[in-house]
Amino acid sequence: MASCSSKASLHVMFYFLFAIYFLSFEHCCVDANSTLIVHNATTVSSKTIPIPDTFLGVFVEEINHACAGGLWAELVRNKGFEVRGPNNTLNVWSIIGNESFISVSINDSSCFERNKAALQMEVHCNDKNPCPSGGVGISNPGYWGMNIEQGKRYKVVYHIKSEGEEGDFNFQLSFTGVGVIEVSSNITQVPEDGKWRKVETEVEAKATNHYSSLQITTSKGGSYLFDQISVMPLDTYMGHGFRKDLFQMVADLKPKFMRFPGGTYVEGYHLQNKYQWKDTIGAWEERPGHNNDIWNYWSDDGIGYLEYLQLAEDLGALPIWVFNAGFSRNEQINPSDLGPYVQDALDGIEFAKGSPESKWGSVRAGLGHPKPFDLRYVAIGNEDCEFSNYQANYLKIHDAIRSAYPDIKLISNCDASVTPLKHPADLFDFHTYTTSKDLFSMSTQFDRTARSGPKAFVSEFAVWRKDAGNGSLLAAVAEAAFLIGLEKNSDIVDMVAYAPLFSNINDRKWIPDAIVFDSYQMYGTPSYWVQKLFVESSGATFLPSTLNTTSSNQLIASAISWKDSTENKNYIRIKVVNFGRGTETIDISIDGFPVGQQFGCTKTVLTSDNVMDENSFAQPTKVVPQTSSAVNVESKIQAILSPFSVTSFDFLIL
């Protein structure tokens, strides 16, 4: 049995059994009420559109613990004690053992100048008053549990200073549920020279606990200061610190661009908490971190500006840096005071793409990345068009960058889909979160957009609220319709990204999201799987087609031709969205092939029994694309479209 699928697998084989029923390609048994004609599929006409190479990308924002406690693999939460409880008590950390033998407080005596908080620990044990068995100490639960896995190696680092008399020092580091891993047994002396010591070691886990805690205990009296305690898995993507499983989920979307680091995260609720790239580079111990006040948690900036650029490079995506243009959600900077913001933006661009000889390029080189990053786009602010100072601030920054970097494409926050911009821009940012019905109808949003103006950067879209639940099929089907509308308008729509990309299930500030995870597991929502159906659109050719249907408020379709460059095979992909509650029958014909020519065909369907069905840790693949394949399919087929479904047909053209 020759399979036409380029990705023949057991999965495909299994569904082949059903293919006979699903793909009644050859005989038309009913009068279809819709027809789709793909015109001149083999020739280039004035109506074919080269879809931009950059079409589908991702938007990575520090929201829902996407990075801290997510993509960034650091396991210790509040590793520098910067977040404290009332009266300088512990936050997230807790005390182990009987509190009459240990007292702790946070005070600002760290050796790290930009993050002065440190933990002071007094252990009141001595020969007369021995510590309870097991000792006393402190514990850190990580971000809702640390994933410690058998056979994996972890780098443990901490900084310590002894305040008491010289002597043995026997802190024991261990992880709950995986047995004791001796970490510091070789450090027997912490001289009382008032100096901080960095203790660094690697450990291998002998057992697995997905929700472990780090424990630091001792049975020896003394007075100590601790700071910057880190546990980092060695097994990260290319050793770059990104959690491998989450990285792969994003890589599977083949993103052509990566917008970062926000979102409103860039602005902050208050300007003092805005994202400041210069505070996020350099040794992790020395990064001050900051209060992500818009999403209400501390960001240790483990994924700093350099790591975001590295992430984009690792994904093969063009970085799109969003920087603060002088706005928080509550404040705005006057154009006359914008100087430092303009300089920060220019310096940030130089850090990313300047030569290693330039001022900021040399800083980047010193941090291990001499090669300039491929920064071609920057966005001047996020959702700031409504502010009275935006036009003026925008122009100041625009002019400064334009003259220093004529090639960099500049993205405005103002929507030009309906009315033209009042200022020059290469692209305009467009965001929408709405109902499923509205998003379906927004497939025509860009039909009448002026073709002479800037291109559209649709950098946030999703169905939300009631229609979406925590990530429903209904939302995903409407999003597919919207994406088809963007394909049709890809002469003006350059780039598109769903938002938000990630959510740690323990901090779902914004629902729904594309990828949901906890310390060790994850799943894609139906919205994630819809994006996968559009992965091949980047750099493909949009083919003109005509859909004749009585259900035009429920059906939408598109056709592209695309090339699988690894297999050197050419395909025509037809996608049809049925946003109605009835089953639809559609006759599809592809013009341009000789009568009788036969094709291999793979059909992929995303649907489910209930339109509100979702995926979950318990059922991560409840709503995922199902693939079936058939050989010897002609260029005219009849297809049945399930209620609330997205169906994609790949015809192998050779």
Footprint of ligand NAG on this chain (CB under 6 A)? 30, 33, 39-40, 43, 45, 47, 86-87, 98, 100, 105, 107, 109, 120, 163, 186, 225, 469-470, 544, 548, 550-551, 582, 584-585, 614
Using an 8 Å Cβ cutoff, are 653 and 572 in contact?
yes
Pick 109 or 358: Cβ nearer ligand NAG: 109
Pick 178 or 640: Cβ nearer ligand NAG: 640
Q: Which residues pair with 224 in a beta bridge?
A: 121, 162
Give CA–CA dist 263/266, Å, rounded. Answer: 6
Dig out the tokens for 91 from the structure.
Answer: 């936050």
Q: Which residue is nearest to ligand NAG (CB)?
A: 469
Pick 3 or 589: Cβ nearer ligand NAG: 589
Pick 160 or 312: Cβ nearer ligand NAG: 160
Dig out the tokens for 331 from the structure.
Answer: 């404040």
Q: How far is the CB of 482 from ligand NAG (least distance, A)?
A: 21
Pick 363 or 653: Cβ nearer ligand NAG: 653
Chain-centre distance of CA 123, in angstroms? 43
Give CA–CA dist 408/375, Å, rounded. Answer: 8
Pick 315 or 477: Cβ nearer ligand NAG: 477
Chain-centre distance of CA 556, in angstroms? 28
How do beta strands 645-652 and 599-606 pair? antiparallel
Q: How far is the CB of 40 from ligand NAG (least distance, A)?
A: 4
How do beta strands 214-218 and 136-140 pair? antiparallel
Q: How far is the CB of 43 from ligand NAG (least distance, A)?
A: 5
Coil, strand or helix at 14: helix
How far apart, in Å, are the Cα atoms of 489 and each of 337, 441, 473, 551? 40, 14, 25, 21
Preceding peptide of 512 cis, ω within 30° = yes
Q: Which residues pair with 320 in a beta bridge?
A: 259, 377
Pick 15 or 169: Cβ nearer ligand NAG: 169
Pick 43 or 248: Cβ nearer ligand NAG: 43
Which amino acid, 371? Answer: K
Q: How far is the CB of 149 from ligand NAG (least distance, A)?
A: 21
Q: How far is the CB of 30 from ligand NAG (least distance, A)?
A: 5
Q: How far is the CB of 160 from ligand NAG (least distance, A)?
A: 12
Q: How far is the CB of 654 from ligand NAG (least distance, A)?
A: 21
Q: How far is the CB of 357 from ligand NAG (least distance, A)?
A: 41
Give CA–CA dist 118/108, Å, rounded. Answer: 6
Q: Which residues have CB under 8 Å from 167's CB, separation 6+?
A: 189, 220, 222
Q: How far is the CB of 89 from ligand NAG (least distance, A)?
A: 7
Pick 170 or 551: Cβ nearer ligand NAG: 551
Give CA–CA dist 158/146, Å, rounded. Answer: 17
Dig out the tokens for 549 from the structure.
Answer: 């249907």
Q: Which residues have CB under 8 Å from 453's CB, separation 6+?
A: 416, 420, 421, 428
